[in-house]
A and B are shown apart, each in its own frame.
Chain A
Amino acid sequence: MHEQDRALSLAESVLTAAKAADQAQVTVTITDASYARFARSYVTQNLESQQTNISLTYYIGKKAGTVNSADASPDGIARLVAKAKEIAQRVPPDNDFVSLPKPQEPPAAVPSFFASTSDATPDDRVEKLLPVFARMKRSNLYCSGFTTTQTQTLAIANSLGVRVAYTGTNGGIQVKAMAPQTSGYAEAYALDYSTIDTEPIAERAAMKATVSSTPADFAPGRYTVVMEPSAFQSAVKALLEGIDASNVLDEKDSWMIGRLGKPILSPNFTLRSDWSNPQLANPPFDPSDGSPVKKFTFIDKGVPLAYSASTYMSNKFHVPATGVANSMVIDPGTKSYDDLIGSVERGVLISRTWYERVVDPRQAAITGLTRDGVYAIENGKLTKALKNFRYFVSMVEVMKDVEFSNRATLCEPEDDLGYQCVLPDAKIANFNLAAQTSFA
């Protein structure tokens, strides 16, 4: 792993230069990300970006200064250290800080690097798209979306002896097929780009865009909905945003408060943090400080059991450190996707949602809108495309009655929230579709 060695070596050089600090942590990230974006069935943005970032946090007692830079030259490292030290000397202390983590042997990482992804060329990416454009043309559709290949290396070293590094790849495609009044969406993500077959993705998006040519009205109200993984990931965010010690103990704005240990959710619902899930393959250490990430269960058969805690929160509140939970896995059920839909007498299939916002974190109340394919399910079959809905639900309430499909799908990384999910499709009862829009 050439880039891992480079990143660790760089971190070591910075740490050596910062040896006068009481404690110090260096984080080096090297990222290479490529995207071919398309709209109206041609490539509109075609890009690659290569970035290195060196972050040093320099501690003098409880006072800390953090400086980021990409300059790995000896002069650049000297400037980085001097600036971080200067900040640490000048700012008041962070009294909640106790210590950086001490070295602990992290578990062995699972395979996460695939040359087929890291070595993909611009032509490789565009050639993945040509069958997608051809499929759209056959049905007089346009499409919009992107395909991406990414490689990221992360190395962390601290003055107490932590030395960890990781390299992972990720590839993906999103396709939104667009008819004049309707649309359909499909996506696929994989660590190994060569395993992504774009023809079935295009077929699925095109099929959904042509279920019917005109979106129908459907009275707002409470329905049984089937949320495909992309949509479900967005809704379940209302729960995921409240499962850290920072929410439960510090901000006190978590739905978990007063509900730990109580059977308040469906016994079908188990949520785990599992960095070793082979579809995710995240690093076995906390990307914020290099401490080992524990595998643990947040919700076991409907009972909220535990919350995550970083080293910082663990020290502050004297609770066990778990590391940041960035690998969310919901246990699948037993029914196939088709059987899940087949079990709905009258309901709604939701492919994807948009602009979700947690309105009341204590109730995990979230609002958002459906997009890119919402359909009526009648007597177990998709019967027509519908205009979009605004939903507004308490996930604590609606997850009392949920059933999952047997397929576990890797979803688009939630980069801004810092986690990835592997989720099944979810059939949720009493889901409040509060209002309908005028379009699909």
Chain B
Amino acid sequence: MASYASAAARILDSATKAGANYADVQFWTIRSENLFVRNGDVQDASDSRSLGYAVRALVDGSWGFYGSDRMTDEDFDRAAVAATVIARSGTKVVDRIPAITPTQKTVATWETPFTRDPASVSLGERANHLLAVEKSMHVAKNVIAGYAFMNVWTTGKEFYSTNGSAIVQTIRQAGAGCGATAIGKDQDAQSRGGPGDFGLYQGGGYEVIEAADLATIAPEYGREAVILADAPALPSGVRDLILDGTVLNLQMHESIGHPLELDRSLGWEANFSGISWVTPDKVGKARYGSDLLNIYCDNSMAGGMATVGYDDEAVKPERVPLIENGILRAFLSSRDTAAQVGLPQTASTRAQDWGSVPMVRMTNIALAPHEGTLDSIVADTKDGVLVSGMRSWSIDDHRLNFQFGPQIGYEIKDGKRGKIFKQPTYTGITPQFWGSLDRVGGPSEFRVWGTPNCGKGEPEQSGRTTHACSVARFKDVKVGVKADA
């Protein structure tokens, strides 16, 4: 990445002259390599690059933000002044909680560790891999569609502040997935795909694409799509429910990660993303789940999508317990939100890109592993359902009432897998559901699952998050919920 130190110095100087009490600027170079194949055709082969910068100015405790991709000296001056003018406009509101002024100075460099450079894999090799994967899912004539994809993202960031901070980072993330749709005798179309809710997404290089192991799982997705197309819907009832990692990680995302975003709990996201059923005054008191529920945030986690050296306001990550033995301990936070309630910072401030304002995001969270494997938990279940793959999910704006629709359900009877069901929906209330957690799998099946497109903010930003976990079982869950209209 080219150094933007001199441009940054000009911007910070202009902002200071315009009246900013503090300012920072972050230059971003973003490269996004995307490949998508469907039914034997390469439908998207794209390589997108973007260079721009984000200026933040603080005036009397009010933040202003200006993002631009215009790169002349005049543009730099204009952006600096604009950020300061925007900040000043917020001071017209007399009754407000002023933001705190950052004071620390950090000079550092950081890069995501990786083992295989994506540049060493040609576009042709990537495309041929995906085409072979996609082809292998067409195991029967009624497989009407197959797809496979990969994304490789490389983001360079240079952060400078009026405190003298200078932080240069290179962040690498990648992901891959595939899926098949089959049509049944009654013309019902059912899909099976993964791995993960969207694919396997992690921080790293091309080794992430290899770890997705699409060549192995793709034919099985094809076979299961064919079975699902003529399978019965899961009957309504109350059953023990086993979530494999592909479902459990999204369950954590929606009903633990989001409610623990401190800006949401403080009401800053009330109009869009919503608020939270837990508040800072419940730290140390609220029971979030059973004793097996141990959740932590670690934005230095190997393979995490949100793993960085420093977040977008120059805070260094540390491992922070969020829930211990089922009891709420902390929130995901930014500098301002943490200061308001006196809780630890978790280096969870992120922006989607240079045109987006940094804010509290779900970053890397993990459910600490306990003991056993998926097979041993199945063997230990008398009457239940194992679900895998994600099709639809919905949760209220307090993050309490949820309804999930996995792709496939396997009936469990006396410790053995039986019938396959389509539409194995389930529903619950967050603390009761996590309170019914009675098995958490061990380290052997602990995997770093990522989501590439978590929405939050106005305008909406897409975030990249991680929810590492193994497998889990929940007692007496309401399953097979129907539209019934």
Provide the residues of chain B in CB contact with A402, threshold 8 Å.
none
Provide the residues of chain A in CB contact with B270, threshold 8 Å.
39, 144, 176, 178
Contact B64 A46 (CB under 8 A): yes
Please name the residue on chain A nearest to B45 by beta carbon.
A91
Instruction: Please choose the segment from A302-310, A323-331, A365-373 that sits at the chain B interface, where 4 or more of its residues have CB less than 8 A away.
Output: A365-373
B127 at interface, CB cutoff 8 A: yes
A174 at interface, CB cutoff 8 A: yes
Contact A87 B89 (CB under 8 A): no
B194 at interface, CB cutoff 8 A: no
Provide the residues of chain A in CB contact with B95, threshold 8 Å.
41-42, 133, 137
Contact A48 B66 (CB under 8 A): yes
Within 8 A of B (CB), among A26-54: 33, 35-37, 39-53
Contact A359 B423 (CB under 8 A): yes
Contact A432 B484 (CB under 8 A): yes
B400 at interface, CB cutoff 8 A: yes
Contact A358 B392 (CB under 8 A): yes
Provide the residues of chain A in CB contact with B64, threshold 8 Å.
46-47, 122
Provide the residues of chain B in CB contact with A175, threshold 8 Å.
271
Provide the residues of chain B in CB contact with A346, threshold 8 Å.
none
Contact A354 B274 (CB under 8 A): yes
Contact A70 B50 (CB under 8 A): yes
Q: Could you tell me the dominant secondary structure of chain A's interface residues?
A: strand
Chain A, interface size category, equals 35 or more
Q: Which of A83, A133, A368 contacts B93 (CB 8 A)?
A: A133
Contact B144 A66 (CB under 8 A): no
Within 8 A of B (CB), among A66-112: 66-71, 83, 86-88, 90-97
Please name the residue on chain A nearest to B401 by beta carbon.
A437
In the bound assembly, the distance between CA atoms of A354 and B397 in angstroms comes to 7
Contact A46 B90 (CB under 8 A): yes
Provide the residues of chain B in CB contact with A125, threshold 8 Å.
89
In the bound assembly, the distance between CA atoms of A68 and B50 in angstroms comes to 8
A236 at interface, CB cutoff 8 A: no
Instruction: Please choose the segment from B165-173, B279-287, B355-363, B433-441 that sits at the chain A interface, where 4 or more of its residues have CB less than 8 A away.
Output: B355-363
In the bound assembly, the distance between CA atoms of A90 and B131 in angstroms comes to 13
Provide the residues of chain A in CB contact with B188, threshold 8 Å.
362
Contact A122 B67 (CB under 8 A): no
In the bound assembly, the distance between CA atoms of A357 and B128 in angstroms comes to 34
Provide the residues of chain B in CB contact with A355, threshold 8 Å.
393-397
Q: How far is the CB of B62 from chain A (nearest CB, A)?
A: 7
Contact B269 A51 (CB under 8 A): no
Instruction: Please choose the segment from B80-88, B155-163, B444-452 that sits at the chain A interface, where 4 or more of its residues have CB less than 8 A away.
Output: B80-88
Contact B97 A42 (CB under 8 A): yes
Contact B267 A371 (CB under 8 A): no
Contact B405 A44 (CB under 8 A): no
Please name the residue on chain B nearest to A127 by beta carbon.
B92
Contact B92 A126 (CB under 8 A): yes
Contact A51 B92 (CB under 8 A): no
Provide the residues of chain B in CB contact with A369, threshold 8 Å.
394-397, 401
**Are A371 and B52 also in contact (CB < 8 A) when A42-B97, A251-B189 are?**
no
Contact B396 A51 (CB under 8 A): no
Contact B70 A416 (CB under 8 A): no
Please name the residue on chain B nearest to A222 by beta carbon.
B485
In the bound assembly, the distance between CA atoms of A49 and B48 in angstroms comes to 19
Instruction: Please choose the segment from A196-204, A289-297, A385-393 that sits at the chain B interface, where 4 or more of its residues have CB less than 8 A away.
Output: A385-393
Contact B89 A432 (CB under 8 A): no
Q: How far is the CB of A4 from chain B (nearest CB, A)?
A: 18
- From B66, B187, B356, name the one whose CB has the most chain A CB atoms within 10 angstroms: B66
Provide the residues of chain A in CB contact with B459, threshold 8 Å.
33, 35, 148
A430 at interface, CB cutoff 8 A: yes
Contact B92 A360 (CB under 8 A): no
A397 at interface, CB cutoff 8 A: yes
Instruction: Please choose the segment from B36-44, B240-248, B372-380 that sits at the chain A interface, where 4 or more of its residues have CB less than 8 A away.
Output: B36-44
Q: Which of B124, B392, B457 contacts A359 (CB 8 A)?
A: B392
Provide the residues of chain A in CB contact with B63, threshold 8 Å.
45-46
Q: Which of A51, A121, A253 contacts B181 (CB 8 A)?
A: A253
Q: How far is the CB of A370 from chain B (nearest CB, A)?
A: 9
Provide the residues of chain A in CB contact with B49, threshold 8 Å.
67-71
Please name the residue on chain B nearest to A185 by beta carbon.
B271
Contact A46 B89 (CB under 8 A): yes
A338 at interface, CB cutoff 8 A: no
Contact B67 A48 (CB under 8 A): yes
B481 at interface, CB cutoff 8 A: yes
Q: How far is the CB of A67 from chain B (nearest CB, A)?
A: 5
Within 8 A of A (CB), among B380-405: 391-398, 400-401, 403, 405
Provide the residues of chain A in CB contact with B70, threshold 8 Å.
50, 52
Provide the residues of chain B in CB contact with A83, threshold 8 Å.
47
B100 at interface, CB cutoff 8 A: no
In the bound assembly, the distance between CA atoms of A258 and B186 in angstroms comes to 12
Q: How far is the CB of A328 from chain B (nearest CB, A)?
A: 20
In the bound assembly, the distance between CA atoms of A42 and B270 in angstroms comes to 13
In the bound assembly, the distance between CA atoms of A88 and B42 in angstroms comes to 10
Within 8 A of A (CB), among B442-485: 455, 457-460, 481-485
Contact B69 A52 (CB under 8 A): yes
In the bound assembly, the distance between CA atoms of A434 and B65 in angstroms comes to 43
A145 at interface, CB cutoff 8 A: yes
Contact A94 B43 (CB under 8 A): yes
Contact B42 A130 (CB under 8 A): no
In the bound assembly, the distance between CA atoms of A71 and B187 in angstroms comes to 48
A356 at interface, CB cutoff 8 A: yes
Q: How far is the CB of A184 from chain B (nearest CB, A)?
A: 12
A65 at interface, CB cutoff 8 A: yes
Q: Which of A90, A222, A252, A371 contacts B397 (CB 8 A)?
A: A371
Within 8 A of B (CB), among A223-243: none
In the A-B complex, the 9 residue pairs with the smallest Cβ-Cβ separation, listed nearest first, are A42-B96, A68-B48, A122-B89, A144-B270, A47-B65, A49-B67, A49-B355, A66-B46, A357-B392
What would 19 A/B residue contacts be, using CB atoms closer than 8 Å?
A39-B268, A39-B271, A43-B96, A44-B268, A47-B64, A50-B66, A67-B47, A68-B48, A87-B46, A122-B85, A123-B92, A126-B89, A126-B90, A176-B270, A250-B145, A369-B394, A369-B395, A392-B482, A392-B483
Known: A357-B394, A390-B403. 16 other contacts (CB 8 A): A39-B269, A43-B90, A48-B66, A51-B67, A52-B69, A53-B50, A63-B42, A91-B45, A95-B40, A121-B85, A176-B270, A251-B145, A359-B425, A388-B396, A393-B485, A437-B396
